[in-house]
Amino acid sequence: MSTKTASTDHPVHALVAERWSPYAWSDESVDPDDLASLFEAARWAASSYNEQPWRWIVAQREDAEAFDRLLSTLVEANQNWARHAPVLAVGVAITTFSRNGKPNKAAHHDLGLAAGNLSFEATSRGMHVHQMIGIEPQRVRDLYGVPDEAEPLTALAIGYAGESAATPEGMRDRDAAPRTRKPLEELVFAGAWGHRAAFAKP
């Protein structure tokens, strides 16, 4: 699979430009030491009050029973392509603060930061991560005994990108398409909503 390095409007770190989310996966397994480093990177993400409200449920393809169990928590459309990834994970947000039991409004945000750290560590090691919101949260709860104060939120497919020809029907165009983003002027405001910041030039 060729790289899909982003054509950015402003200079960014190479890992930002090189990160992308494939649908096609190589048969290559992920070394356990590499996998540990990915979740170590997630462990060191910033979080509100250093609460670290992220938890992960992980399965590797080598353990077929565990892998199929976790795969079954994805919606069917995601199962169709994610079944070919060597590693699956479900990200869970702890929605209350451990110190006082009050709601942690930053929990989802912080889970996302941890997933971002994981994704960039993966990119640095030549791997890819495809994040997805299409999961069955109640099935995650039922299968894994997730407590009420924890919310299964997203899933990750982790591994090495494969050839586009291996992509399930309907996904090949997505893997082959160039990466695009909205222009900075539509995303960064100053002074008033919709008024672009001066540095956010086209």
Cβ of 77: how many Cβ atoms within 10 Å?
Answer: 13
The single residue listed with the structure tokens 């070919």 is 84
The domain in which residue 91 lies consists of: 14-163
The stretch 6-27 carries a mean pLDDT of 94
Is-contact 119 129, C-beta < 8 A? yes
Task: Please report whether residue 47 resides in a domain.
Answer: yes
Q: Token pair of 154, please?
A: 């997203």
* Residue 158, pLDDT score: 98
* Residue 15, pLDDT score: 95
- Asked whether residue 1 carries a pLDDT value surpassing 60, the answer given is no
Task: Please report whether residue 58 resides in a domain.
Answer: yes
Task: Please report whether residue 154 resides in a domain.
Answer: yes
Model pLDDT for residues 168-199, shown as the tens digit of each residue? 667 777 887 888 899 999 999 999 999 999 99
Task: Please report whether residue 144 resides in a domain.
Answer: yes
DSSP string of 43-92, one letter each residue: HTS--GGG---EEEEEEETTSHHHHHHHHTTB-HHHHHHHTTSSEEEEEE
Beta-strand pair 150-159/128-132:
antiparallel
* Residue 178, pLDDT score: 82
Model pLDDT for residues 115-164, shown as the tens digit of each residue? 999 999 999 999 999 999 999 999 999 999 999 999 999 999 999 999 86
* Residue 165, pLDDT score: 58
* Residue 2, pLDDT score: 53
The single residue listed with the structure tokens 């929605």 is 95
Closest C-alpha to 150, from 115, 114, 98, 195: 98
Task: Please report whether residue 179 resides in a domain.
Answer: no
Model pLDDT for residues 53-99, shown as the tens digit of each residue? 999 999 999 999 999 999 999 999 999 999 999 999 999 999 999 99
Confidence category of residue 107, pLDDT binned at 50, 70, 90 = very high
Whole-number Å distance between alpha carbons of 133 and 151: 12
Task: Please report whether residue 63 resides in a domain.
Answer: yes
Task: Please report whether residue 118 resides in a domain.
Answer: yes
Task: Please report whether residue 192 resides in a domain.
Answer: no
Question: How many domains in the chain?
Answer: 1
* Residue 63, pLDDT score: 98
For position 50, which CATH number holds?
3.40.109.10
